[in-house]
Structure 1
């Protein structure tokens, strides 16, 4: 009588409880023995105790992220060949190549159907049963020179310090995308430009302190609270030697200095305007481009309550547009597939479309689902479908979606991103699109 084959042991490292419950239930239903780790440190502990046959590893976790876990596993003789399937909502090709270098069996882009994972597990264990050494990477030949590239941090790059709209949020449901309100940085390699002063500006300020006093250029798209609330917590304004130049529109109800520093009134804040030690300049924007070294910044008014603009950065032959608040085609709830530049409803938006024509990277909102938008017409934020149409009408090359609604947690945003990609395919413009998250950086 044949001895029964013991069930394969799967360790699921996933900090979002709704996802871990769904996936572990599917695996257990198909005969796998499953344990769950909710952070990177617990994952390493469970590997030692549980001794899994395979690890399903989320890339973004508390305490220790997935890449750190992978590096630790590959550095230990006992775990250097442990098969790993990485799950991640970040699908940038360069990052996936880096993940593959650490030896995972496969990578799944979130959100995914548990059936897809089950299929990959079945295929993997079948191959292991019929081949030898499948989990072992080839040994490096003796004497081979080690290839060890170093990231050139002087290259132009962007960083998102805050990606939420309306109000900051926190908690496990928002761990992957983050909860800070709007703040975006363009780093030319020489100059550092900041766009909007939401709560993400606090962490941006700490990064400036590490480099010592410098000249910071802060552009404000508009003065709604979620775009200025981080200013009192921007550390460089308290440090002698820093110079901060703030650029804003004339059309605000008060001048931009009063709006930013008014948050530091004694009734609201323990430190007042006169306590700021940095040199702070306030500059009104006009139709002339702003030149900062070899970087050029221009602006265009958007469809949003009050004086609101988007900014275009042109540098080193590339263009990046930051436009977090823009209700494109206000009131339109029809199909995006029928829209052209000549459509009567589209024609009034030609200045915005011309501003966006052919940009290399667009950082723009898509706050409302098409089903939610009819109740929010006139609030100043785009319907997902019309935002997709806008990228097609302008030939945008890459799109990072920001200004996430505070009610949209990580699972909701994963689903929304899949819908975005579906709409883009349906209208014949399947560009690369991702959701921005706090701390996200990209080299250009």
Structure 2
């Protein structure tokens, strides 16, 4: 059954633009020319999404959204607001009312189409924007897997967006999100080594008034976390300080705990890496993603004997749909670099089998690794799984690739 979209706008040309933005995706549409009949139309049409202007004859879209979402029968109804008004207060009110997005006119039909698709999808989309470390490599040496440092975007149903780490890959992600008029997101740092933070000053949504950005990261206190982020900008390291941010930025301290969010949970566990480092797990509707970008699995001689902290990590990853895990080294390279905070494919295979994960994304490619080197690590993973009687779907992380769950 096609998704239902209710269009509410008093301008015929704007409704026509919205209509063109949806036709290729096969949604069932209904149109209104004012806010007066919006609630009645919702009751009769039972839409999955309302796309509405803010100011219209006989009312406004934000007030209608508040009333509808206050009613139990329509509490989860999705809203996208479209307006020529660019005031910070309007955007904040629209998001606080429950809006999934706030688009300012004029916009391209393709932009609205993508926002609608993200809002209505039932899938979790995981996109890799950077997967090298601990330093980026130029395009000429990046090969087919890419050269940017860690950044992974996880988009949950309802257009809820989590960004894990802010390596150089976050630059292109930020450009794309600005084009979508994104309003709210969370950036989750695993730790503060340069390859995970160096893209933050170039993340354009931080400089857009009306955007709301939550920054999660391991620290002793909110003040300590703020200081760590400030250390990435200003002073001797960057010409602009975080005072240049025009978005509303909140800092959230991460310890070993679970954050219960609307419709999903975000959990953290300390990882095995120099400096305070965490791994994250996102759970939603029986699906989950574990992101462990920098983690040295403490396995004696890489034997599949899990105990202590290693067993604790396997329990954290147990049954996850997708495990994104550090596989920086081949087995021979790892034997020379134990204690450096990174894993090899064979160790991650032992974890994947123990935790009974669905699939694995082999992550954090060494800057000196060629395509052939990365594929050899993948083969070591496959062989190690087979030796344990398992066949687990796995592939090296590749920039630009999206995995849907």
- For Structure 1 versus Structure 2, the TM-score category normalised by the shorter chain is 0.5 to 0.7
* 4+ long deviations beyond 4 Å: 150-153, 251-254
Answer yes or no: is the 8 Å Cα contact 1:264–1:272 preserved in 2: yes
Q: Which residue of 1 aligns with 2:359?
A: 398
User: C-alpha distance in 2, partners of 1:253/1:325?
Assistant: 23
1:376 aligns with 2:337: yes
Does the 8 A contact of 2:222 with 2:253 survive in 1?
Answer: no
- Does the residue aligned with 1:372 lie in a helix, a strand or coil? helix
Q: In structure 2, how many angstroms separate the alpha carbons of the residues matched to 1:240 and 1:289?
A: 30
1:135-191 Cα deviation digits (max 9, x unpaired): xxxxxxxxxxxxxxx996523211111101100112334231001111111101320
* Distance across 1 between alignment mates of 2:347 and 2:404: 28
**Which residue of structure 1 lines up, in the alignment, with residue 269 of structure 2?**
300
State the shift of 1:252 in Å. Answer: 9.1
Match of 2:130 in 1: 162
Deviation for aligned residue 1:319: 1.2
Instruction: Flag structure 1 segments of 5+ consecutive residues without an equivalent.
Output: 1-149
Report the equivalent of 2:139. Answer: 171
C-alpha separation between the residues in 1 aligned to 2:258 and 2:377? Answer: 36
Distance in 2, Cα, partners of 1:214 & 1:164: 28
Within a 5 Å distance, the mapping from 1:273-292 to structure 2 comes to 273-292=242-261
What is residue 349 of structure 1 aligned with on the other side?
Answer: 310
For the Cα contact (< 8 Å) 1:251–1:307, is it kept in 2? no
1:268 corresponds to: 237
Cα distance change, pair 429–435 in 1 and its aligned pair in 2 (3 A): same
Partner of 1:65: none
Find the residue that maps to 1:333 and give its secondary structure.
helix
Q: What is the rounded CA distance, in whole Å, between the counterparts of 2:141 and 2:129 in structure 1?
A: 18
Contact 1:222 1:248 in 2 (8 A): yes
TM normalised by structure 2 equals 0.67
For 1:391-443, what per-residue CA distance to the aligned partner results, in whole angstroms no more than 9, with x for missing partners?
Answer: 11111110001011111021221232223212221221220010011111011
CA 231–360 in structure 1, closer or farther in 2 if over 3 Å, else same = same
1:224 maps to what in 2? 193
Q: Which moved more, 1:229-238 or 1:259-268?
A: 259-268
**How far apart, CA to CA, are the structure 2 residues paired with 1:196 and 1:369?**
24
Change (3 A) 1:194 1:426: same
Tell me if structure 2 keeps the 8 A contact 1:173–1:410. no
d(CA) in 2 for partners of 1:381, 1:312: 19
The answer to whether the 8 A contact 1:213-1:241 is kept is: no
Q: Is this contact kept in 1: 2:273–2:340, CA < 8 A?
A: yes
Question: Secondary structure at the residue paired with 2:265?
Answer: strand
Which range moves more in the overlay, 296-305 or 245-254?
Answer: 245-254
CA deviation string 1:349-400 (max 9, x = no partner): 2221110111111000111111111221111111321111111111111000
Residue-pair matches, total: 287
Q: Deviations over 1:226-277 (max 9, x none)?
A: 1111110110111111111101112599822222222221433232222211
* Structure 2: distance between partners of 1:325 and 1:213: 29
CA distance in 1, matches of 2:372, 2:313: 32
Structure 2 CA distance, aligned partners of 1:194 and 1:263? 18
Report the structure, 1 or 2, having the larger strand content: 2
Q: How far off is 1:203 after superposition?
A: 1.4
Root mean square deviation, CA, Å: 2.2
Residue of structure 2 equivalent to 1:189? 157
Residues 281-319 of structure 1, C-alpha deviations (whole Å, 9 max, x = no match): 111124542233312100111111111110000012201
1:317-356 equivalent positions in 2, closer than 5 A: 317-329=286-298, 332-334=300-302, 336=303, 339-341=304-306, 346-356=307-317
Distance 1:379 1:288, change over 3 A: closer
Contact 2:259 2:265 (C-alpha < 8 Å) held by counterparts: yes
CA distance in 2 between partners of 1:417 and 1:208 (Å): 32
Give, in whole Å, the separation in 1 of the partners of 2:246 and 2:126: 28
The equivalences for 1:60-139 within 5 A come to none
Quote the offset at 1:202 in angstroms.
1.1
TM-score (norm 1): 0.61
